[in-house]
Structure formats: C-alpha cells, structure tokens
Amino acid sequence: MPFPAAGRRAPLAPPQPCGISSAISLAAPRDTDHELTQKLVETLKPFGVFEEEEELQRRILILEKLNNLVKELGVHTKGADIDALCVAPRHVDRSDFFTSFYDKLKLQEEVKDLRAVEEAFVPVIKLCFDGIEIDILFARLALQTIPEDLDLRDDSLLKNLDIRCIRSLNGCRVTDEILHLVPNIDNFRLTLRAIKLWAKCHNIYSNILGFLGGVSWAMLVARTCQLYPNAIASTLVRKFFLVFSEWEWPNPVLLKEPEERNLNLPVWDPRVNPSDRYHLMPIITPAYPQQNSTYNVSVSTRMVMIEEFKQGLAITHEILLNKAEWSKLFEAPSFFQKYKHYIVLLSFSAPKENPDKEEFRTMWVIGLVLKKPENSETLSIDLTYDIQSFTDTVYRQAINSKMFEMDMKIAAMHLRRKELHQLLPNHVLQKKKTHSAEGIMLSAVNDSSLHLTVDSENSMSVPLPMGATKTGPLTGSPQGRSSPALAVMTASVTNIQAPEVSLQQVNPSESSGVTLSESIPQTPSQPTISSPPKPTVTRVVSSTHLVNHPPRPSGNAATNIPNPIVGM
C-alpha cells in the first residue's frame, strides 16, 4: 500500500454537522501542519504501520484461498487482512462451520495453529494461514442465497437472527459505519495509525485487559475527525489528546445519534438498562444494535489512560513548538523502574522434546498501585481468590479452545521492584526499547537468568523451570482480609523480537509503599475449578498490557508453541 501523500491538500469539508454536534473548528491546515504531517509519516514508516503493496497482495491471495474453501461449504466471505466474516445462507448451520469447515482447514498445508473457540462471546475459528494470523467469524443470514454485492449495513439483515450471528456481523457493520461518518477517510486512517501505534507503545492497547481495543481507538479518532473536519493528521493527533484528556467521563462518545429499529435487540441505553449506568468510559458503536465497546474498562485502567492522554498532549505541544520530534510520542516508558510492587504470572507449556525438562516459556509482569486505608501504616492483602479465579479461567479457556495439554501449568507471585532481578537480569531491567525497522527490539535473556527461586523477606517459593510441578504458598506477615481484583487476560498486541525468551509486560502508574502479605494457591497440573466467596476489594490501580515475543528456539530449530493462555 503506498504511503499517504501527507503534503497533498484535500478540498475543505463543507460546513455541516459532524456527528452529534457541530465542529469545534473548521480551520484549514496551514503549511506548518502539512510539514508536521509529513514528519509524522516519516516517523511512522520504521514501525511498519504502512502495508507494502507486496504484503497487501499476499493477504488478498490468502483471502482468495479462504474464499474458495468457504464456497465449497456453500457460503461466501467478506474479510480483511486479519478478521474475516463467513456469511452463510439459511440452509447452512453453525455446526457445519465448526465441524466440516474446521476439518477442511485442518487439511490445508498453509494452516497452522488452528483452534476453534465455539463457546466464546463471539464464536471464532483462529488460525495462522501462510504466516498470517486470521480470525474467522460466522453469521447465518435468513437468505436463500448470498449476493456478491451484499451490503451488511442494511439493518433488515438482522431480523430473526441468532444473537451470536448478530455479534459476528457487528464488527463489519461498525467498521463500515465509521468510514461513512468521518469527513476525510485518508486523514482518519493516517491519524488512526499514529494513535494505535502510540497506544501499543504505551501499553494501553487491549480491550480484554481493561483498556481500549482497535474499534474503540478508531471511534475516538473518528470523533476527533468530526470535531475538526478540515484538519490533517498532525493536527488531529494533537487534538485527539486535547479532546480526550479533558473529556468528562462517563459521558459517552457517540459518532451519531442512536437509532431505533424496532427489532427488539438489546442496545446500550442507561435510561433503560441500569447496568449501563455503571460503565466508566462508554464509547458507543454507531451501527445498530448500539453497544458499549469499552465495558471492560475499570477505575484503574481509565485512570492510566487519562494520564497517558495528558502526557500525549504535553508531548504533541512540544512537537508543535519544535521542541521535540514525533519519535518522542512513541517512546516506551521505563516499566521496570516505575512501580514498587509487581505481580508476575508464569506459564509453562507441555514439554516437547525432553519430558523431564520443563522450560520457562512466557511471563507477564503487572505493575501495582496500592492505596493504603486511612489511619493505617500498612496494607495486608490476600490474593488467593483472585489468582485461583484467574487460573480457573485460563484453564477453562484452554480446554474450550482445545489447546489444553495435561502438563501445561501457570503460576503467580508477588515481587517488589528490588526483587525483579531474581527473574530478569540487570541489562533487561535497565534496557530501554530501541526503534528498528522491524518495530521494537529487546535484548535476549539467556537460560542462566531465569532461575525462579526467590529467597526474600517474604520467603517465596515458586515453580522452577526445571522439573517443578507446583507452587508453594507465600508466607510472611499475617494474611490480610482484602483482595485486589486482578483482571488479567492475554491478547496479541504487537510483536517484539527477543530470540531467547518470551516476555510480556504491562504498564500502570506510580506505586506507593505498602507492606504486603499474600497467599498464592498451588498451581494444579490439571484444571480444578473453584469459586470461594469473594472478599472485600481494596482499591488497586493496576494496568495490564501484553507484548508477545517469539518463543525461544529449542535445539537447532525454533519451535512454534502457541500461547497457553487464549485471549481474544
């Protein structure tokens, strides 16, 4: 795909209502705006956010291959480079998609890492087709045949549909509607590339982790474009941070007035639905049925994002004054120096070559901010329920997606900042990510750095990479009675090259000093679902973000082991 011609001057949009309100400014871009936009494009290029023509044609070819497979099932597809929608006529059942079509995909030599997640909120088949990760959704329409020129924006298609089919259709419908609601698609796309890259670099790109996913970021950018219809990307990026650093949440972000269709489908409406009144950062999809795309946002993750918006505004102001370059906006924060307390999650895959050797595979690090109760110098918390609940969820998801193997294990532990060297060497703890043509580089960690025994003031005992089977409890000061809720799942956000270790990290805000005492449940060798009573929750500001690395090679050939924790 060619790079956008940032210097090209598009005709001004006519003065007309944009979205649900009038525009804030109709000012035309100045010469300095065009220059800053061109600099922004040049800064984005090394990050690989623009798709080359060769890569675009490769993705189109893959979709054509998928389309041929689907036509053998008797349906047609509408897809993009990562997400594809399989649209079926009424005589094709959902079971056909998850059985015969799944089996057909399994026979294709280009298909790797195939898995079906039939019980998900939006059922999906996930796969890697010729090196490209693809999610395939399914929707059965009440039509005898599917026309090639089918317009999914037609609300009448939703009549008498299964709710799962409506959810599957919703992604394409929302995307199409967003593009119809922005005044200039090229400016919108370039601005969105910049904002999505910024969000990934600052560890706030993931819907399932309580931040924002791709659709939510797109809607925020679209609203900015509506408010400044004649602005170009450099101005829109700056105005994006201005608008949403001052947004009065939980006032919703709407791209257009909600419309009634009398199809009796549930829509986001806090006047009718009491649960909708508790959404903290509502961003409402423009296609019927309107939904809040940010229902996972918590008090803590919203706080983190607002702080990031403010920092982004400050940086873009410096860029406007020629006191900084665009590259500063995409610098990653110093995560391992930022907090005093961390939760570390470890996952171990089933041994492949040597059954007696259990190698460390993937690690998640979660920074914690803990607020001490009034009139108290210390805070004691018990993480037993939260970690057990998380573990149960992971195993259940692994089983439902047909990925679970008996030797797969996960474990969790608490570490203070000064104890992180027990898991990571100093050159990683102090290493800042540097830009490269492939994105971001992180120094490798060798095996000698991954001994997981911790001999600290908390006398922690955790699984070893070699032959350990379970986690012993943490001991220390008397256990507390409050438990912070840890909402931690996994999602593919961006790739970082680390040849010898899988590392995933998350970024919250500044931590305060407290005294902790935890009890970590044993890590089972197979799923054991439990549900003890939920204790009182102490306010914990935690932020989570995952960055996937390739698995470290084993022997002479690199092994490709799927992540045991399945995200969206």
Q: What's the rounded mean pLDDT across residues 43-63?
A: 77
pLDDT at 485 over 70: no
Maximum CA extent, the chain: 71
Alpha-carbon gap, residue 300 to 225, rounded angstroms? 28
Beta bridge partners of 135: 83, 126
Is 432 labelled a binding residue? no
Alpha-carbon gap, residue 315 to 309, rounded angstroms? 10
pLDDT at 513 over 50: no
Q: Which of 33-37, 244-248, 298-302, 412-416 has the lowest mean pLDDT?
A: 412-416
Q: Which of 272-276, 440-444, 523-527, 535-539 has the lowest mean pLDDT?
A: 440-444
Is 312 labelled a binding residue? no
Q: What's the rounded mean pLDDT across residues 236-248?
A: 98
CATH number for the domain running over 53-175? 3.30.460.10
Q: What is the DSSP letter of 355?
A: T
Per-residue pLDDT band at 80 (split at 50, 70, 90): very low
pLDDT at 482 over 80: no
Q: What's the rounded mean pLDDT across residues 82-100?
A: 86
Q: Where in the chain is the domain with CATH 3.30.460.10?
A: 53-175
Is 191 labelled a binding residue? no
Is 196 labelled a binding residue? yes
CATH topology of domain 31-50+182-329: Poly(a)-polymerase, middle domain (1.10.1410)
Q: Give the phi and the psi of residue 72 in degrees, each rounded to 5.
A: -65, -25
Q: Which of 12-26, 174-188, 296-310, 380-394 has the lowest mean pLDDT?
A: 12-26
Q: Which of 20-29, 270-279, 379-388, 416-425 has the lowest mean pLDDT?
A: 379-388
3-class secondary structure, 345: strand
Q: Where in the chain is the domain with CATH 3.30.70.590?
A: 335-371+381-428
3 state SS for 33-79: HHHHHHHHHHHHHHHCCCCCHHHHHHHHHHHHHHHHHHHHHCCEEEE
Q: Where in the chain is the domain with CATH 1.10.1410.10?
A: 31-50+182-329
Is 392 labelled a binding residue? no
Q: Note the pLDDT tens digit of each residue in 253-289.
A: 999 998 888 788 889 999 999 999 999 999 999 999 9
- The structure tokens 């800064």 sit at 43
Contact 139, 165 (CB under 8 A): yes
Listing DSSP states for 358-413 in one string gives ----EEEEEEEEEPPPTT-S---B--HHHHHHHHHHHHHHHHHTT---TT-EEEEE
3-class secondary structure, 200: helix
* CATH architecture assigned to 335-371+381-428: 2-Layer Sandwich (3.30)
The number of beta carbons lying within 10 Å of the beta carbon of residue 20 is: 14
Is 96 labelled a binding residue? no
Which range, 98-107, 109-118, 123-132, 244-253, has the best average confidence (pLDDT)?
A: 244-253
Average pLDDT over the chain, rounded to whole? Answer: 72
Q: What's the rounded mean pLDDT across residues 18-34?
A: 88
Per-residue pLDDT band at 360 (split at 50, 70, 90): low
Higher per-residue confidence, 552 vs 244: 244
Contact 218, 324 (CB under 8 A): no
Count of alpha carbons within 13 angstroms of residue 306, beta-carbon side:
14
pLDDT at 15 over 60: no
Is 135 labelled a binding residue? yes
Higher per-residue confidence, 142 vs 377: 142
Q: Note the pLDDT tens digit of each residue in 193-231.
A: 999 999 999 999 998 889 999 999 999 999 999 999 999
Alpha-carbon gap, residue 443 to 498, rounded angstroms? 6
Is 162 labelled a binding residue? no
Higher per-residue confidence, 33 vs 71: 33
pTM of the model: 0.67
Is 215 labelled a binding residue? yes
Higher per-residue confidence, 114 vs 259: 114
pLDDT at 69: 55
